[in-house]
Structure 1
Amino acid sequence: MKYLFYFLLISLVSVSLVACGAEEETGTSASAGENNQEDEIREETTEPEEVVEEEGDIEVDKNLLSVEITMPATMFEEEDVESSIAEAEAEGITVTPNDDGSYTYKMSKGTHADMMEEMKTSMTQSIENLKTSGEYPSIVDVVANGSFSEFKVVVNREEFENSFDGFAVLGVVFGALYYQLFDGVNPDDYKVIINYEDAATGEQFDSVVYPDALEELE
């Protein structure tokens, strides 16, 4: 399940890099260095600075000039790496391979901001699709907070529990987790809460926390 999660994230990365055009060039190439953490997503400037290394899946430093995002090797196991790199570089993003198999994507702050805006738009469209497409009849409404860390999903309970509409909600969950990754959320706060409410009674009948729920399936 962990590898599936990584695969979905890197697939989303490729889509967003193509979608949000880069009006600014990154200018300098990414600095080479040792990366002792496989699961690290880090942002840093081109200015010299002390990087604090911590145990955990993700480390993010937001600074002034450029943004570096390091993808762990596990995210590329099922991916066409050369194609992904070519798409990124076509958008003015510098990609540097690391000794541990990970890749560091370096971009301007403006390009990163464009990518975040594109992801926000994509999330909003996905939420609207759940409510209005007609493909998920048991789902009545979906409301998210500004950071996409908590959702209220209003459903016709019996119909929902006897359908596969929950898989559609899971798609939004992956998008929300991905959004938080690249917005620099602290690893300890990295989660998405889905609160399910019965449309008939207004009662909250279930609450699921991700990625905890995914880890329990391993």
Structure 2
Amino acid sequence: MKKKIVILLLSLLLIAMMGCSDQEMKNDPAGVPEDVTGTETEVEGEVEKKENEESEGFNVEKNLMSVELTLPSEFAGDLGGFSRDTYLKENPGISDAKVLDDGSLWLKMSRTKHKELIKQMEENMITSFNELIEGEETPYILDIKSSKDYRKVEVFVDRAGYENSFDLSGMTIFFSVGFYHTIQGEDFKLNLQYIDAETEEIIEESVFPEE
């Protein structure tokens, strides 16, 4: 029972920190090549609007030749003394950047750069999973397997060790997968299962969002 309570609290916390999880995908016609070059026409006044609007959470908008990404202030880091020119120089592939009124960071990047960011987040997520398997604080976690899209994650555990621990590995998994889906501009969906490694019986299972 305590495991289910922890998972429920993690779900609520994730919703609160990520804001709106159902991000709208705009201007992304099927079959358009990823690396098309050309001039993108912007609606007059759009940039000024971006500077003044407030962000409710992660936001991803895919356009014909670029991707716009808004990072909440909690994840953007210390932006004191932010310099647009310096930031763009240090981050090739980012074509524009600005700090919004609520402290979040708005970025405009090429589609190639966005794919690189997603790949980096996937690598970080896999590293986090491996740390759970090898970590001294979670010796009961023996293996972690996932579907290709990370919408299903199976954690194989030593049952006795798992049930006698105050396990918080769900936090790492929920946040890692949640951010990975959101950065892609997709809804966060996860079926998380804790499985007895010996009998392959499902000990605990949670689905987010609940169906």
TM-score (norm 2): 0.65
Q: Structure 1 residue 32 and structure 2 residue 48: aligned?
A: yes
Post-superposition shift, 1:191?
2.4
- Which residue of structure 2 lines up, in the alignment, with residue 161 of structure 1? 163
Q: Which residue of 1 aligns with 2:204?
A: 206
Per-residue CA deviations over 1:155-188 (Å, capped at 9, x if unaligned) read: 1112112124x323421221110000011113xx
Structure whose CA Rg is larger = 2
In the alignment, structure 2 segments of 5+ residues that lack a partner are 1-11, 19-38
* Alignment gaps of 5+ in structure 1: 8-26, 44-61, 213-218
- Aligned partners of 1:173 and 1:210 also within 8 Å: no
2-structure distance, mates of 1:102, 1:147: 28
Partner of 2:59: 41
**What is the CA–CA distance in structure 2 between the aligned matches of 1:39 and 1:130, rounded to whole Å?**
27
Q: How many residues were matched structurally?
A: 169
Whether the 8 Å contact between 1:197 and 1:205 is mirrored in structure 2 is: yes
Range with bigger deviation, 101-110 or 85-94: 85-94
State the secondary structure of the residue aligned to 1:33.
helix
Superposed counterparts of 1:127-166, under 5 Å: 127-164=129-166, 166=167
Q: Displacement, 1:39?
A: 3.2
The RMSD of aligned alpha carbons is 3.5
State how far apart, in whole Å, the 1-side matches of 2:82 and 2:17 are. 15
Q: Which residue of 2 aligns with 1:180?
A: 181
- Matching residue's letter, 1:168: S
Alpha-carbon separation, structure 2, partners of 1:144 and 1:159: 22
User: 1:174 is aligned with what amino acid?
Assistant: F
Structure 1 residue aligned with 2:32: none
Matched position secondary structure for 1:82: coil
Q: Distance in 1 between matches of 2:186 and 2:145?
A: 21
CA deviation vs aligned residue, 1:94-122 (integer Å, no higher than 9, x gap): 32233455431111111111111111111
Paired position in structure 1 for 2:33: none
Task: Please state how far the C-alpha of 1:81 moved relative to its aligned partner.
Answer: 2.4
Give percent identity, aligned residues only: 28
